[in-house]
Amino acid sequence: MQKERIALVTGGGRGIGREIALELARRGCSVALNFSRSEKAAEEAAAEIEAMGRKAITVKADVSSAAEVKEMFAFVASKLGPVEILICNAGITRDNLLMRMKEDEWNDVISADLSSLFYCAKEALRPMIKARWGRVIAISSITGLIGNPGQCNYAAAKAGMTGFIKSLAREVGSRGITANAVAPGYIETDMTSVLPPEVREAMLKNIPSGRTGTPSDVAKAVAFLASDDSEYIQGQVIAVDGGMTM
């Protein structure tokens, strides 16, 4: 990373978000780690960042709440300064076949995975426009590209994120801001640890790289998109999936 930038990673305490936060810190960023439940994990990740000699803070907020997101941005600005790199990583799954899917399962996923991007990007934008520099990176999913049985809610939210990012890129792309999405494939985290072994084996057969992904695979792509080196990459969806969806 060129300059000491200020990054906010939603869901930065564990899984992919944690690795993104650490990678950005390794490349020189000050990092705000958002969590909703995993306070201890977020504090441990922040301590790891501080041990690298970088600044880190933790901030509790449910990103599916516009009011909590607003407070989160005000808190981060008061502690570190305005967010220059926004990573919308927080997400949940509530899988069910459509015939059985409850309204709550639909609404919870749309709120946590998609509305959160609307709330966060809206809060982040004004200072980015003023500074004529900014990075908005959404962690979507290959499910948003190719669909998955049992995930109509999640696929709709993740595809919604990419449509949002492309529109945002068209709105603010001429102001030194880039908006891009990363679509991870099968990444080993708590989210995928609940999948049965036969699902894992079936997935593996469809991964040309011959292995599942790690949070670090995703974090490195995100760190590149967050850097100055990616300034002409705009409105893209980069699959980090070992070739699964090529």
Residues that bind ligand NDP (CB under 6 A): 10-11, 13-17, 34-38, 62-64, 89-92, 112, 139, 141, 184, 186-187, 189-192
Catalytic member of 119, 154, 186, 232: 154
Q: How far is CA 127 from CA 17, 133, 138, 180, 219, in A?
A: 23, 9, 18, 18, 25
In contact, 164 and 118? CB cutoff 8 Å: yes
DSSP secondary structure letters along 198-217? HHHHHHHHT-TTSS-B-HHH
The nearer residue to ligand NDP, 133 or 153, going by C-beta atoms, is 153
Could you give the angle at which helices 66-79 and 116-131 cross, rounded to 10 degrees?
40
The least CB distance from residue 76 to ligand NDP, in Å, is 14
The least CB distance from residue 192 to ligand NDP, in Å, is 4
Identify whether 186 is a catalytic site residue: no
The nearer residue to ligand NDP, 34 or 133, going by C-beta atoms, is 34
The nearer residue to ligand NDP, 89 or 162, going by C-beta atoms, is 89
The least CB distance from residue 2 to ligand NDP, in Å, is 26
Q: How far apart are CA 105 and CA 107, in angstroms?
A: 6
Beta-carbon contacts of residue 27 (< 8 Å; ≥ 6 apart)? 1, 223, 226, 227
The least CB distance from residue 49 to ligand NDP, in Å, is 15
The nearer residue to ligand NDP, 32 or 133, going by C-beta atoms, is 32
Any idea which residues carry the catalytic annotation? 154
